[in-house]
Amino acid sequence: MADEAVEVGPGPAAESYLKIDNIIQAAKSTGSQAVHPGYGFLSENGAFVSALERENITFIGPDSKAMKAMGDKIGSKLIAKEAGVNTVPGFIGTIDSADHAVSVAEEIGYPVMVKASAGGGGKGMRVAWNKTETIEAYKLCSGEARASFADGRLLIEKFVEKPRHVEIQIMGDKHGNVLYFPERECSIQRRNQKIFEEAPSPLVDSSLRRKMGEQAVALAKKVGYSSAGTVEFLVSETDRSFYFLEMNTRLQVEHPITEAVSGTDLMEMMFAVADGMSAGFWSSC
């Protein structure tokens, strides 16, 4: 239970929890030195982090530069390539028409995944197996992306058949250190929404775990990432090749699974590194 409650607006989230000015006013009225964003609402909103920085209020999460860099799927893939991280073969750029989508899809080779650049939660994603399905996917995904994220940009990647969805939890600090934790597998999904998490993954051995962890760390260091984050990968069931999918720049709802297998309190770590403590303290414990 909270020690104190502050009204931030009426019931609808768009008029309360998503109103940056309201949240900042609540923090200032209570003399708060820091804000932890939780799992949703403004937790991955770079503009919110920038606003807090201007008010000298600590955001318990990554800084605005790192969040904005990794929050865009197109931009984050370009950064991943620069960091030497495996990326899914595809067109790293914006698809600007249905004809462009078909051209890119045929160059990559079917099947392909058409997906929104912004947002998440499985919205704005379709698999296309031919020209007709690509045109339909372009129309549906761009419309859904605009409606859900106010951003209709799309990208197209090779669809990895028999994929496993495996994510690596990381924690960075303000001194350039980044730790990675044992993986979580979330391949059991419905409509691209995770419904079951498993740790460790039955597919991942110690060698693959190390390779994925090292790439997750390399990506985080490339953008100067501090705080908790999750780097998501697609792993081929057939040859165990793996590819960067996206990065979640927040603590995820499923983080207690990692806490259970690692014995580490990730929320405690977030507060500590936000206050300037080195993540290396935990690696030496």
Choice among 7, 53, 246, 268 that is catalytic: 246
| Backbone angle region of 152, left / alpha / beta, with phi > 0 → left and psi within -120 to 50 → alpha | alpha
H or E segment to which residue 50 belongs: helix 46-54
Cα–Cα distance for residue pair 251/168, rounded to 1 Å: 12
Cα–Cα distance for residue pair 276/279, rounded to 1 Å: 9
The Cα-based distances of 31 to 19, 28, 48, 53, 124 in angstroms read: 19, 5, 18, 15, 40
Secondary structure of residue 248 in the 3-state scheme: strand
Cα–Cα distance for residue pair 155/190, rounded to 1 Å: 22
Cα–Cα distance for residue pair 142/266, rounded to 1 Å: 36
User: Are 49 and 61 a contacting pair, CB within 8 Å?
Assistant: yes
Total number of residues shown for the chain: 285
Task: Collect all residues with Cβ–Cβ distance below 8 Å to 199 and sequence separation of at least 6.
Answer: 182, 183, 184, 185, 257, 258, 260, 261
| Cα 242 versus chain centre, distance | 17
Secondary structure of residue 42 in the 3-state scheme: coil
| Residue 192: other Cβ atoms inside 10 A | 14
In the annotation, is 246 catalytic?
Answer: yes
Label residue 276 exposed, middle or buried (CB < 10 Å: 0-12, 13-18, 19+): exposed
Question: Residue ranges of the alpha helices (H) in 8-45?
Answer: 20-29
**Residues carrying an active site annotation:** 246
